[in-house]
Chains A and B, each alone.
Chain A
Amino acid sequence: MKLTPEVLKLNWEATAERIKQFIKDYVEKISAKGVVLGISGGVDSSTAAAISALALGGDKVLGLIMPEEETYNPKDIEDAKLVAKKFGIKTETIDISKILKAFYSSIPAFNSKEKVSKGNIKARTRMICIYYYANTQKRVVIGSSDKSETMMGYFTKWGDVAADISPLMDLYKTQVRKLALHIGVPKEIAMKPSTPALWPGHLAEKELGIKYETLDLILFGLERFMPPEKIAEQLSLSVETVNKVKERWLANEHKRRMPLTVKLQYRTVGTDFRIPRTK
């Protein structure tokens, strides 16, 4: 197997159709009234919102725009609204600044220099808002996480990743961009540099230290059990670079699971209590 951008190609029409069917089936089976998700104006949430609208009709999709003072970016809000308008999605804007300040001032140990922990409060606050709408309006929470971020653990545990279903989670970032273009997300949004916006100037590729075009091919190789040496050779990278990605992927398994518990009884949640979702 040769690791070239070719390997990441999918039949985008069929892929879009599968994702739409998946969303529609889930929403119908639990008799939900629609879906809700946070929309940031970035590629992942724009794509998740757009494909939900294509699956269910825009009137069934609620997009929450949740800016806050520190990372306020009018262009992102404009982009979120642009996608919402194009796909007929309803939006509501919640300025979460006041909630955040209440957290910052209420936590005795709060230290604003701990920027990751502070950023996590932002992601988790958005999750709380989204679930409020989900609970009160009988909506399914759509997650926007992609496979690259999920494998890297590049998300806030119980924050932005929290959702009922994550329709894009088996697509690498560069694949999400292709899908976005295919379903009609405006090009400037589909190709926009990714940012978790946990602090001002926060850019994913800068923080991860690698371009998504390269990262996705490394992850694709790891997914198929390729040895890091072989991946490095094929992509003309150092083995150290590939190993760093592999270590980060494995180290973050705790973020992708139910909390681990000790096995004490007959069947245990998260281990061998294996129940399908029948409702």
Chain B
Amino acid sequence: MNPIKIALAQIACIRADKNKNIDKMKSFVEEARKKDAKLVIFPELSLTGYVLRDLLYEIAELVPGPSVKKIAEIARENGLYIVFGMPEKSEKAESVIYNTAVLVGPEGYIGKYRKMYLPTHSAFEEKRYFRPGYGTPVFKTELGKIGLMICYDTFFPEVSRALKLRGAQIIICISASPAVRRNFFETLIAARAIENNTFVIYVNLVGIEEGLQFWGGSRIISPSGSIIKKAKYDKEDLVVGEIDLDDIKHVAAFVPTIRDLRPELYEQLKREAETI
């Protein structure tokens, strides 16, 4: 395969103002296209901002829905793929909201991932508002097989492992991580890449919301764990890095974690986890 250029669109959001955030996304996408990016990735809840509390009930939308349509149109106009985050309301039940990552492309809406692990500790209160997701879909695109996950999912190797076992070559993690947690992510993001022989692309929010200072530091990690491209800390940034999916093959021969997988351990883990 040919190398793919990927843009990390590390933005600060205007909270609860979807139109202004879409305008910002549009300008970042146009800039990324000029740099030949084929995929542009925005942070977690980048459509709305992260700390929304009760406003979530008013601001969540269907996926696909009006905002997805607008962003898909930006993808179509620019001939590239976009990943972004938004609060998604259930089409089946009232006041059921998910923290969702959405993938759109030149052909329109492609798919979504609903955050499985919702942090509800320290300054986080996601379980108060969101229902966790139950699936780990992988999307086959002309760029390769893409799996999505969100922020705190990174702390649970099961999510990225499930994506890998479904064939993901590129795992995209969108995030809204505040500065006090930077060290954790800088370690774990690389670990998820190494243990799964995949590219991991991490895109974090910047800006300050209710005293939470999001640290940025978005990055593309190679399957061997090295940083291919990294954005600034704490400030808005747009950087473009290149990945070559052919690199997965030789890394997986050098560190064959999937060949060495032990399925019987999962049964044991399940039993143990049920009795913590």
Whether both chains belong to one complex is answered with yes
The reply to whether the CB of B16 lies closer than 8 angstroms to some CB of chain A is: yes
Contact B213 A276 (CB under 8 A): no
Interface pick from B46-54, B68-76, B164-172, B252-260 = B46-54
Contact A21 B53 (CB under 8 A): no
Residue of A nearest to B51 (CB): A276
A139 to chain B, nearest CB (A): 19
Report the bound CA distance from A273 to B53 in whole Å: 9
Report the bound CA distance from A183 to B160 in whole Å: 43
Residue of B nearest to A25 (CB): B208
Report the bound CA distance from A26 to B208 in whole Å: 9
The reply to whether the CB of B179 lies closer than 8 angstroms to some CB of chain A is: yes
Interface residues on A, range: 10 to 19
Q: Given A21-B213, A22-B208, verify A276-B179 contact (CB < 8 Å).
A: no
The reply to whether the CB of A102 lies closer than 8 angstroms to some CB of chain B is: no
Residues of A within 8 A of B210 (CB): 276-277
Contact B211 A275 (CB under 8 A): no
Contact A275 B213 (CB under 8 A): no
Residue of B nearest to A274 (CB): B53
The reply to whether the CB of A267 lies closer than 8 angstroms to some CB of chain B is: yes
| Chain B contacts with A in 124-159, Cβ cutoff 8 A | none
Interface residues as binary, B165-204 with A (CB distance below 8 Å gives 1, 0 otherwise): 0000000000000010000000000000000000000000
Contact B179 A18 (CB under 8 A): yes
Report the bound CA distance from A115 to B51 in whole Å: 43
Q: Given A21-B213, A21-B234, verify A276-B52 contact (CB < 8 Å).
A: yes
Contact A276 B207 (CB under 8 A): no
Report the bound CA distance from A25 to B210 in whole Å: 11
The reply to whether the CB of A112 lies closer than 8 angstroms to some CB of chain B is: no
The reply to whether the CB of B209 lies closer than 8 angstroms to some CB of chain A is: yes
Query: Lowest 5 CB-CB distances: which A-B pairs, in order?
Result: A274-B53, A25-B208, A278-B15, A274-B54, A276-B51
Name A's B-contacting residues (CB within 8 A). 17-18, 21-22, 25-26, 267, 273-278
Give 15 A-B contacts (CB < 8 Å), ordered by A residue: A18-B179, A21-B208, A22-B211, A25-B208, A274-B54, A275-B53, A275-B54, A275-B55, A276-B51, A276-B52, A276-B53, A276-B209, A276-B210, A277-B210, A278-B49
